[in-house]
């Protein structure tokens, strides 16, 4: 659980970097870039909490998320060249972030006693909606609507989580299995269909 | 009231189909299409409930809405050709859905003791905001901003509802009158200004 | 405080006009124009309140905001030519509106005991998010993402507010100083970088 919280913060940091890079690609200014980095990082969890009516929002309650975003934004600005050339490494963190966000979102929904299907949906929303808002604000059709593996990986992990939980598997194993499945699906998708791996800001060559 | 609930579910089903067809037109993938179908169907009610702070959201509380959307999505995928050629029939259901969503949204707002003008607005929001989010995510200026009859029909029905209610007309008559007015305005608009009837995915010929 | 409330209503009125003019520029119809005027005026405060979970929303509770928007919309329709030619004068009100929205948003957030950084962010969100939603619905990359002074002015005012408050300066002086700083930064930005002043509906010549 503590490890999940740490990964949640790291995921927020990584999502802020990926948001900032997407914004820089759109030639937004300094402020616009920070704004998009912020929305990409907290958008998914915020939409989930608004839907569930779960207040206060995580990033409003705990300032550490805002700090993680600020540091991520600075890293994106300062080390942009390096991050792009390390993007294979970076994508490992991005994928871990997706897995962690999905499971944390799902767990949060379950605490509120929603239907299992809703919980799985909320896990996916947590992981992907930041990117949906980022793309909409950048005036593009959201990336995940064209490249389904990203969201399908989250849904598969969520379903596995619910199945293992139904059979009373211990919580840590459930969590590790679900996060692992998401990561594996993503990596398999990346390896065998390279075009899905393509970064947003490279799609236009 | 029971009939209204049934019509609400049918409206959700029909809106999911119309969302899926709009998404297919934009060449979104399987996931993107399901996502847009979902947002089109629940977006209006969700925005209304977020504005009013009315938790839990209808589709979070009752899984039947999610099921209606899933079945609607499958119908859109499987029977796409038929739906498009039956679109005159289909538009009857779509229009009934708009009328029902308006009245249900208005009633929900009134239960929360808001100002009558706010209630009328919330009725319209319930009926049209799913389409606004659908168009925004599909990267288009929302359709209802160009073709006013759609929203004006909802507002007219809402105003009639409030007037009849003010004169203590029995609830069932108020509901039937308001829904009927919305349907009539829409059909008159369709008959006399055919271009307003045009389906989204045909506008570009 | 009473003066702030009055300025809040005037700010709502002015934002409705600026939203209506932006919508007219996009050739939206009567309804679409009213809708965009409404969203521009209440969008920022609504997003802030959704994030903070502060219900009921200001414009839902007090119908005066809806009236201010209605009158603003009518003024924009009726006096469009005059407003455009008076736009130097009009921008004074717009700028005052931004300052007032920032400080009111910040104060509302502080009442809910959030972290000072969150409060400053909420002040900025109150002032700029109406415009972000307006631009997104009009299918454009939000203006403030290209022209940073607008949002930076709000952030600077918010930071000054928190600093003066930390040193126990009297509330009225804190408020006046923060609003003044925002207005001054905006006017300096307008004077020395004229392109940032450019109105939305003139950018395309």
pLDDT in tens, C111-121: 999 999 999 99
Answer whether residue A13 is part of any domain: yes
- Nearest CB among B50, B145, B147 relative to C35 is that of B145
Q: Which two tokens stand for residue C47?
A: 């997003």
Question: Distance, in angstroms, between B95 CA and closest chain C CA?
Answer: 19
Number of domains in chain C: 1
What pLDDT shows up at residue A88? Answer: 67
**pLDDT score of A54 more than 50:** yes
Say whether the peptide bond before residue B58 is cis (omega within 30 degrees of 0).
no
Per-residue pLDDT of A106-122, as tens digits, reads 999 999 999 999 999 99
Whether residues A26 and C141 touch (CB distance < 8 A) is answered with yes
Per-residue pLDDT of B117-160, as tens digits, reads 999 999 999 999 998 888 888 877 777 766 657 888 899 999 99
Q: Which two tokens stand for residue B151?
A: 């929203």
Answer whether residue B204 is part of any domain: no
**pLDDT score of C109 more than 90:** yes
Find how far residue B187's CA is from the centre of its chain: 15
Whether residues C144 and A28 touch (CB distance < 8 A) is answered with no
Whether residues A136 and C136 touch (CB distance < 8 A) is answered with yes
- Nearest CB among B51, B139, B147 relative to C57 is that of B51
Q: Which residues of C touch B148 (CB under 8 A)?
A: 29-32
Per-residue pLDDT of B110-124, as tens digits, reads 999 999 999 999 999
Find the closest chain B residue to C57 by CA distance: B51
**pLDDT score of B188 more than 50:** yes
**pLDDT score of B194 more than 60:** no
The CA-atom distances, in angstroms, between C7 and each of B57, B76, C1, C2, C95 are 35, 51, 10, 9, 11
Q: Which residues of B touch C63 (CB under 8 A)?
A: 115, 117-118
**pLDDT score of C88 more than 70:** no
**pLDDT score of C62 more than 80:** yes
- Nearest CB among A51, A132, A145 relative to B57 is that of A51
Helix (H, G, I), strand (E, B) or coil at C53: coil
C-alpha A56/C-alpha C58 separation (Å) is 19
Percent of chain B past pLDDT 90, that is, above it, reads 46
Answer whether residue A37 is part of any domain: yes
Say whether the peptide bond before residue B56 is cis (omega within 30 degrees of 0).
yes
What contacts A203, CB < 8 A, 6 or more positions away?
none
Whether residues A117 and B50 touch (CB distance < 8 A) is answered with no
Question: Distance, in angstroms, between A144 CA and closest chain B CA?
Answer: 7
Residue with tokens 């200026």: B141
Answer whether residue A61 is part of any domain: yes
C-alpha C50/C-alpha A4 separation (Å) is 27
- Nearest CB among B32, B46, B66 relative to A146 is that of B32
Cβ of A188: how many Cβ atoms within 10 Å? Answer: 12
Contact B160, B178 (CB under 8 A): yes
| HSE-CB of B53 using CA atoms within 13 angstroms | 18
Cβ of A167: how many Cβ atoms within 10 Å? Answer: 7
Question: Distance, in angstroms, between C32 CA and closest chain B CA?
Answer: 4
Contact C20, C79 (CB under 8 A): no
What pLDDT shows up at residue B87? Answer: 67
Answer whether residue A179 is part of any domain: yes
C-alpha C39/C-alpha C29 separation (Å) is 15
Q: Which residues of B touch C60 (CB under 8 A)?
A: 51-52, 114-115, 118
**pLDDT score of B183 more than 80:** yes
Answer whether residue A204 is part of any domain: no
What pLDDT shows up at residue A87? Answer: 67
Q: Which two tokens stand for residue A92?
A: 């490992």
Whether residues C145 and A56 touch (CB distance < 8 A) is answered with no
Residue with tokens 């454009």: C140
Whether residues B136 and A132 touch (CB distance < 8 A) is answered with no
Percent of chain C past pLDDT 70, that is, above it, reads 89
Q: Which residue has the higher pLDDT, A142 or B172?
A: B172
Query: What average pLDDT score do residues A71-91 get?
Result: 79
**pLDDT score of A98 more than 60:** yes
What contacts C15, CB < 8 A, 6 or more positions away?
C40, C41, C72, C94, C97, C130
Q: Which residue has the higher pLDDT, B21 or B167?
A: B167
What pLDDT shows up at residue B193? Answer: 62
Give the model's confidence band at C200: pLDDT under 50 very low, under 70 low, under 90 confident, else very high: very low
Q: What is the DSSP letter of C203?
A: T
What pLDDT shows up at residue C95? Answer: 83
Q: Which residue has the higher pLDDT, A59 or C187?
A: A59
Measured CB to CB, residues of chain B less than 8 Å from chain C are 50-53, 114-115, 117-118, 121, 132, 136, 139-142, 144-148, 151-152
On the 0-12 / 13-18 / 19+ scale of CB atoms within 10 A, C48 is buried
Question: Distance, in angstroms, between A82 CA and closest chain B CA?
Answer: 32
Question: Distance, in angstroms, between C103 CA and closest chain B CA?
Answer: 22
Answer whether residue B48 is part of any domain: yes
Contact A64, C118 (CB under 8 A): no
Give the model's confidence band at A64: pLDDT under 50 very low, under 70 low, under 90 confident, else very high: very high
C-alpha A182/C-alpha A153 separation (Å) is 5
What pLDDT shows up at residue A93? Answer: 74
Find the closest chain B residue to C26 by CA distance: B141
Q: Which residues of C touch B48 (CB under 8 A)?
A: none
Q: Which two tokens stand for residue A107?
A: 């767990």
Percent of chain A past pLDDT 70, that is, above it, reads 88
Q: Which two tokens stand for residue C46?
A: 């609504």
What contacts C63, CB < 8 A, 6 or more positions away?
B115, B117, B118
Residue with tokens 């004074």: C92
C-alpha A73/C-alpha A25 separation (Å) is 14
**pLDDT score of B31 more than 90:** no
Q: Which residue has the higher pLDDT, C5 or A91?
A: C5
Whether residues A50 and C52 touch (CB distance < 8 A) is answered with no
What pLDDT shows up at residue A148? Answer: 56
Closest among C138, C112, C116 to C43, alpha carbons compared = C138
Answer whether residue A146 is part of any domain: yes
Find the closest chain B residue to C61 by CA distance: B114
What pLDDT shows up at residue C142? Answer: 78
On the 0-12 / 13-18 / 19+ scale of CB atoms within 10 A, A115 is middle
Give the model's confidence band at C201: pLDDT under 50 very low, under 70 low, under 90 confident, else very high: very low
- Distance in angstroms between the alpha carbons of the first and the last residue of chain A: 41
C-alpha B27/C-alpha B10 separation (Å) is 26
Q: What is the DSSP letter of C20?
A: H
Q: Which two tokens stand for residue C150?
A: 């607008």
The CA-atom distances, in angstroms, between A66 and each of A35, B39, B115 are 12, 29, 37
Q: Which two tokens stand for residue A22?
A: 């997407």
Give the model's confidence band at C47: pLDDT under 50 very low, under 70 low, under 90 confident, else very high: very high
What pLDDT shows up at residue B196? Answer: 41
Closest among A34, A122, A104, A127 to A72, alpha carbons compared = A34
**pLDDT score of C83 more than 50:** yes
**pLDDT score of C85 more than 90:** no
Q: Which residues of A touch B35 (CB under 8 A)?
A: 144-145, 151
Query: What average pLDDT score do residues A142-169 get?
Result: 85
Give the model's confidence band at C78: pLDDT under 50 very low, under 70 low, under 90 confident, else very high: confident
**pLDDT score of C144 more than 80:** no
Largest separation between any pair of C-alpha atoms in chain B: 51
**What's the CA angle centered on B99, arms C62 and C34, to 5 degrees?**
45
Cβ of C181: how many Cβ atoms within 10 Å? Answer: 20
Q: Which residue has the higher pLDDT, C95 or B149?
A: C95
- Nearest CB among C31, C36, C66 relative to B151 is that of C31
Q: Which residues of A touch B136 (CB under 8 A)?
A: 136
What contacts C185, CB < 8 A, 6 or more positions away?
C149, C152, C153, C156, C157
Q: Which residue has the higher pLDDT, C191 or B66?
A: B66
Query: What average pLDDT score do residues A136-154 get?
Result: 77
C-alpha dihedral over C118, B45, B131, A98, to 10 degrees? 50
Closest among B128, B183, B178 to B157, alpha carbons compared = B178
Query: What average pLDDT score do residues B25-48 get?
Result: 87
Q: Which of A80-84, A201-205, B152-156 has the largest mean confidence?
A: B152-156
| HSE-CB of B36 using CA atoms within 13 angstroms | 31
What contacts A58, CB < 8 A, 6 or more positions away?
A42, A45, A49, A65
Query: Number of H helices and number of E strands within chain C?
Result: 10, 0
**pLDDT score of C23 more than 90:** no
Helix (H, G, I), strand (E, B) or coil at B156: helix
**pLDDT score of B187 more than 90:** no
Question: Distance, in angstroms, between B121 CA and closest chain C CA?
Answer: 10
Residue A28 main-chain phi, psi, to 5 deg: -75, 160
Residue C132 main-chain phi, psi, to 5 deg: -65, -45
The CA-atom distances, in angstroms, between B177 and each of A113, B161, B184 are 39, 7, 10
Q: Which residue has the higher pLDDT, B146 or B173?
A: B173
- Domain residues for the domain of B75 are 2-198
Q: What is the DSSP letter of A86?
A: T
The CA-atom distances, in angstroms, between A79 and each of A15, A17, A65 are 15, 10, 20
**pLDDT score of B198 more than 70:** no
What pLDDT shows up at residue C134? Answer: 87
Q: Which residues of B touch C32 (CB under 8 A)?
A: 142, 144-146, 148
**pLDDT score of C79 more than 90:** no
ipTM score above 0.90: no
What number of C-beta contacts closer than 8 Å exist between A and B?
57
C-alpha C136/C-alpha C36 separation (Å) is 11
Q: Which residue has the higher pLDDT, B75 or B26?
A: B75
């Amino acid at each position: 659980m503590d490890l999940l919280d740490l990964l949640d913060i790291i995921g927020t940091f990584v999502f802020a970097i990926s948001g900032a890079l997407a914004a820089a690609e759109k030639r937004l200014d300094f402020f616009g870039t920070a704004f998009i980095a912020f929305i990409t990082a907290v958008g998914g969890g915020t939409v989930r909490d608004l839907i569930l009516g779960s207040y206060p929002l995580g990033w409003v309650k705990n300032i550490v998320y805002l700090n993680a975003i600020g540091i991520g934004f600075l890293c994106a600005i300062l080390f942009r060249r390096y991050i792009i050339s390390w993007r294979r490494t970076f994508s490992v963190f991005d994928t871990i972030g997706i897995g962690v966000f999905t499971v944390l979102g799902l767990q949060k929904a379950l605490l509120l006693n929603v239907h299992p299907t809703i919980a799985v949906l909320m896990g996916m929303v947590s992981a992907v909606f930041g990117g949906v808002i980022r793309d909409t604000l950048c005036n593009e059709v959201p990336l995940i609507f064209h490249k389904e593996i990203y969201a399908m990986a989250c849904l598969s992990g969520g379903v596995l989580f619910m199945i293992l939980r139904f059979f009373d598997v211990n919580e840590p194993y459930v969590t590790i299995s679900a996060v692992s499945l998401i990561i594996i699906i993503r990596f398999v998708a990346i390896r065998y269909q390279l075009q899905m791996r393509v970064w947003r800001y490279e799609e236009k060559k």
